[in-house]
Structures are given as structure tokens and as C-alpha cells.
Chains A and B, each alone.
Chain A
């Protein structure tokens, strides 16, 4: 029987690359694709894949909240998180969310097949940095991951995190209500609660919070060159 994989990434070109990589393996099949977290959840429930690969930085619903929601709906889902950074905070959140694999996007061509294989064999797969962090937490605190720097996100409920992401992405309360099938009034109530809980007074504060907590990701321009590049550099 084929191993069935669901791919979720907002860039079609990345999904093409992942699909081409994974389908080189005999017996593996990409059974579906999704371009945001909400679509990933719908397709996972519909297609029941053996492995779900989710990018962290997706619009509408990010990969970490997608992972949390998927595992709440069905704890049997096996999720690999794809990320552009393996900062301590992202690692902690991915582990908290219940991911069983953690692969850096830059290393996906090298690590992703090994990660899917690990999950297929009921093991987990993490980058060396995740392993170091988990081990350090275990040695220092006597448990898997140090909680001394707990992420700020748990102060919000799952619904509040979803709404925070959508507002930070520039949606109005009315648009959020439409996306989540809620009334505008309900969204406004959530919005007030979020602002109160976080002691924020402006949408700008909310955007900064969303960036800091990996709810949304921004692309920074390349740094200016350190020295002029001329023909001599050739």
C-alpha cells in the first residue's frame, strides 16, 4: 500500500519541488496539496493522509496552529513542520503543537525524505539543533524542553490566535468574520479580548506581536553590499 502525503505550502513552486522530491520514492504518493492552513485541515480530514507536511509561514492559518488544530481533531495525524528558521522559540512551539518532524526549508532536499521515512517507521525526525535543545532542556530541567522561556502565545486561545493572524495580515473584522463564518460582532468581541489580554491599543501593536510570535512572517530586503563589487571581484 502506498504512503500517502499531503503537502501544505502557500508557494506552488515549493509544492512542485516537494512533490517532485517525494514522488521519486517508490511507494510514496502526494495525495493532495493545500495553499494555506485552513485548506490543509479540510483536505487532511477528507483525504486522511499518512503524513502531513506543513509550512509554518502560511496565510490565513499558520502552520503551527494548523498542526495544533489537526491533532485536536485527530491525534493520529503525523505532521512534519517545514520552517525557514530553527530559532528556540519556533522549535518549542512546533514541539508544543505536536509536530513529529521538524525540517528546515533550506535543507528540505536533503532531510525531508529521511523525515518522512522516520515517521513511516513510527519515529520522529528533528534537525540537530532541535535535538540539542531538547537534550539541553532534559539535562538542565529534567524534562524534555525547558519551560523557563515559555512562548507568549498560550495566553491567547486558539480562536484568538487565528483572529490575531488574520487581523495582522490586514483583514478587517468584517473580513475575518466572513473567513471564519462568525458574526462581525463576535469577531469584534474577540478583538477586544485580545487587545485587553495583551494590553495593546493599536493594530500596529498586534502586527508586531504577530511577527514576534511567528503568526505571520515578513520578508526583509537583502542587506546592502559590504564593499563595492567591481570587475576585480570576478
Chain B
């Protein structure tokens, strides 16, 4: 299955790590990158990705704000947060903002592929540290 992904994180080295992981899957393509929420909103409009992998803490516009804007601008886009915040409260906020998935950065190597697969099929995927990943339709 082909999945077109937009990567959004303010650290290029993190984007590079995420990209090597995602592009290991046949048919998955990272079609663009952005380093803050405002750029993410612009690039989503231009590139029309299937899935956006989005960080929370970023300059200019953070991921939560970007997610709220994107929910209105691109309702078919699925948003997956990959963040340092290992917190149920932040996860709730992200899901309330309109995300379909939430993964903690320290576990990204373990959870990211399953999470992208799930959200690309419009299923929920959330995983905090020390808890089993949960998914639902």
C-alpha cells in the first residue's frame, strides 16, 4: 500500500531518523518535511499527504495549533503525533485537537510503523511509555 507522508519536527536530525525508519517500508514515501507548524500547514496544502507525522513543541506554531488548523483545512489528512511528552494529559489534548494517533518519541523506533499503518487506515493508535499500544476504529 502506498502512503505519502509529511514529516514535521524542528530538529532535522530527528526528521532524518524518522525518514530512514519510514522509508524502510516498501511503498511508503516521505514526500516532504517541515520544521514548524506554520510550514506544516503550508506544505500540507501544497503536497496533499495521506499522513502527517507531527511534533508538539516547535517554534512559530506548535503542533497542537497546527493540528487544529489542519483539521479544518484538510479533513481527510490523518495526523499522528510523535512527541517527547509522555503524558496522558498531552495525549488527550492532541486527540481533542483532531489527531488520529499519538506516539512517544523515545518509543518511535518501536511504535512508529504500526502507528502510521493504523492511522493511514483511519484507525486510532495511541501508545504511552509503559502501556500497551491501543487502537480502535
**Residues in B lying within 8 Å of A, measured CB to CB:** 10-18, 20-21, 41, 56-58, 61-65, 68-69, 72-73, 84-85, 87, 90, 105-106, 108-110, 112
Contacts and interface: CB of A to CB of B under 8 A. Distances in A.
Contacts of B58: 222
A222 B58 CA distance: 8
A21 to B, nearest CB: 6
B56 to A, nearest CB: 6
Interface of A: 10-18, 20-21, 105-106, 108-110, 112, 219-223, 225, 229, 231, 233-234
Contacts of B18: 13, 17
A21 B84 contact: no
A18 B57 CA distance: 21
A14 B14 contact: yes
Given A11-B106, A12-B109, A219-B85, A21 B72 contact: no
B16 A222 contact: no
B68 A13 contact: no
Contact of A21 (B10, B13, B41, B61): B13
8 contacts: A11-B17, A13-B14, A14-B14, A16-B109, A17-B14, A106-B11, A219-B85, A229-B65
A13 B108 contact: yes
Contact of A109 (B13, B64, B106): B13
Nearest to A229: B65
Given A219-B57, A229-B68, A16 B106 contact: no
Contacts of A231: 72-73
Contacts of B57: 219-222
A105 B87 CA distance: 23
Nearest to A18: B13
Nearest to A222: B62
B73 A234 contact: yes
The main secondary structure of chain B at its interface with chain A is: helix
Contact of B16 (A17, A220, A229, A233): A17
A219 B84 contact: yes
The main secondary structure of chain A at its interface with chain B is: helix
A206 B108 CA distance: 31
Instruction: Give me the 3 closest cross-chain CB pairs, A-B, nearest first.
Output: A17-B17, A109-B12, A17-B16
A234 B14 contact: no
A25 to B, nearest CB: 14
A105 to B, nearest CB: 6
B20 A20 contact: yes
Given A219-B57, A219-B84, A234-B69, A108 B106 contact: no
B109 A13 contact: yes
Nearest to A17: B17
A160 B61 CA distance: 41
A86 to B, nearest CB: 15
A12 B108 contact: yes
B101 to A, nearest CB: 16
A222 B110 CA distance: 25
Contacts of B64: 222
Contacts of A223: 62
Nearest to A107: B12
B80 to A, nearest CB: 14
